[in-house]
Every structure is written in structure tokens, then in C-alpha cells.
Structure 1
Amino acid sequence: MTDDARAKRIQTLNTAAKAKSQAKKEAAEKAIRTLVKRGEPITFQAVQREANVSHAFLYNHPDLRGRIERLRAQVRPLPAPATPADEESTLVLALTSQITRLKKQHRQEIQALRDALEQAHGENLDLRRELNRRGLPGQVQPS
């Protein structure tokens, strides 16, 4: 590999890493806004779970870390005693939030399964080509 090709490859990898990091940072910022909007406590674990990023990522970005620490330290006023209507709306909000989180998790799991299936199909095709190249039949014939 020439030095120019190696340098170009390194630059491409660096660009991809920066783009991935920026996307994770934006996801963390969006998660913070979402948690604030829902009135949920802002903690590293809550942001990590909502944004699907690691604790290390949050701790290694000083701006995100500082923001989470400031929001976590803010004293929240105690809610007024709940009325039955408030309890119902709180329950609806909690269940809606849980459904949203489960749908997101489901979508991620489905995508992971699709990716694995696609990879398995590719490997299967490669193996069949290798069998054909060696002159072996690609399928077992029923007896």
C-alpha cells in the first residue's frame, strides 16, 4: 500500500469516527432535552439509556458532562399532592414513555436481526461459490 493510499485511508477513517462521535453527541443532547421535557431526573444513566451511548462517552465530553451535572444538581420543587385526574395523566405519560422506549428497543433489535440475516446470506453465498469453485455440488440431493 502506498503512503498516499494509506494517508487517504487514515483520513477517511478519521472522518468517519468524527461523524460517528458527532452523531452520538447530538443524540445525547436530544436525550437531555427529552428528559427535561418529560420532567424526568437528569442523570448520566438516564441520558445514556435514552441516547443509547456509553457512560464513558458522556464522561469524556466535558460539555455534555458539565450540562448533565448542572441539571442533576438543580433542586426540583416537590410536586403538589396528586388528584385522581393527575394520577391518571401521570400513569398515561409513564405508560406512553415506556411504550415509546420499547418501540425504539424493538426497532433496534429488528434492525440488528436484519443485519445479521444479511450477513448470513452473504456468507452463505460466499460458501456456495467456494463449493462451486472446488467442483463440489452446492446442495445436498435428497435420497
Structure 2
Amino acid sequence: MSEGDRDHRTARLTAAAAARTTSATARARRAITRLHNTGQPVTFVAVAQAADVSTSFLYKHLQLRQEIDAKRGTATAGTERSTAASVESLRTKLATAIDRNRQLTELLEQLRTENEALRSRLLELGTRPPAAQEIRRGEPADKPTATGPQQPR
């Protein structure tokens, strides 16, 4: 390979690299503007994904880095309105959740009371003499139950 051929190839590669850098820089600037105008967070990762560049590319280029830092954490006017709407929406959801929680607490207390009454009734039935329980069920007093034979009386 001759010296002139090498210089020519190097110049072409340098020009191609400069063109890629210019294109990537333009894509990154458009991505920063688009993210900012749509109210999306302007972060290095978001810009890199939107512009199809690497985050290291953004960190290495001082101007892009400054643009991202400047737009980071700032919101457009539309975003402030949507934030206010979402705060109101969250308050409504919270009020609904509190009301539902109150209803469920009342229901739980009602079910606990009912459960206690039923347990008391079962204990009452369990303390009666076995003959009274069997007669009540319509079974003969001397027939063994599923729990085992009856004790002699």
C-alpha cells in the first residue's frame, strides 16, 4: 500500500467519522427538544434511546451534556397542568380508598360479631347431652355416630 493510498483512506475514514458524529449530534438535539416539549423526562438514558446513540457519546460531548443538564428537571407548561390533574386524581383515588377501607372495616366487625354468635351457638349445641343431640337429628340414641361408638349411659 502506497503512502498516498493510505492518506486517501485515512481522509475518507476521518470524513465518515465526522459525518456520523454530526448526524448523531443532530439526532440527540432533536431528541432533547422532543422529550422536553412532550413533557417527558430529559435524562441521558432517555435521550440516548430516542436518538439511537450511546450514553457515553452524550457524556463525551460537552454541548450535549450541558443541554441535557439544562433541560433536566424542567417542565413545560403542559406538564404542570397534567401534574396538577394527576394530583387531583390521586386525591380522588385516596378518598375512594379511604371510604372503601371504612366499609370493609365495618363489614369485618359485623362478620366477627356474627362469627362469635355462631361459635357460641355451636358450643351450646356441643355441651348438650349426646342423646338430646341424636334425638334432635332424628337418629336413634343407641346408634354409633361417625365420630365413634356412644359411651354407655
State the TM bucket, normalised to the shorter chain: 0.5 to 0.7
Q: Pick one of 60, 80, 83 that aligns with 2:84.
A: 80
User: Structure 1 stretches (4+) deviating beyond 4 angstroms?
Assistant: 75-78
Matches within 5 A, 1:93-104: none
Counterpart for residue 49 of structure 1: 49
When normalised by structure 2's length, the TM-score is 0.50
- When Rg is computed on C-alpha atoms for both structures, the one with the higher figure is 2
**Equivalent residues of 2:36, 2:75 under 8 A apart:** no
Q: Provide the C-alpha distance between the structure 1 equivalents of 2:33 and 2:84, rounded to a whole number of angstroms.
A: 24
Counterpart for residue 69 of structure 2: 69
**Equivalent residues of 2:35, 2:41 under 8 A apart:** yes
In the TM superposition, residue 70 of structure 1 has moved relative to its aligned partner by 1.3
Counterpart for residue 15 of structure 1: 15
RMSD across aligned C-alpha pairs, in angstroms?
2.1
Change (3 A) 1:30 1:75: closer
Q: Provide the C-alpha distance between the structure 2 equivalents of 1:43 and 1:23, rounded to a whole number of angstroms.
A: 20
**Count, aligned residues:** 84
SS at match of 1:80: helix
Give CA deviations for 1:58-113 in whole Å, capped at 9, x if unaligned: 000000001101111436747222589xxxxxxxxxxxxxxxxxxxxxxxxxxxxx
**Equivalent residues of 2:41, 2:73 under 8 A apart:** no
Higher deviation after alignment, 70-79 or 52-61: 70-79
Amino acid at match of 2:30: K
- Percent sequence identity over aligned pairs: 35
Q: Provide the C-alpha distance between the structure 2 equivalents of 1:75 and 1:5, rounded to a whole number of angstroms.
A: 53
Counterpart for residue 4 of structure 1: 4
SS at match of 1:81: helix
When normalised by structure 1's length, the TM-score is 0.54
In the TM superposition, residue 30 of structure 1 has moved relative to its aligned partner by 0.7
Q: Unaligned stretches of 5+ in structure 1?
A: 85-143
Q: Unaligned stretches of 5+ in structure 2?
A: 90-153
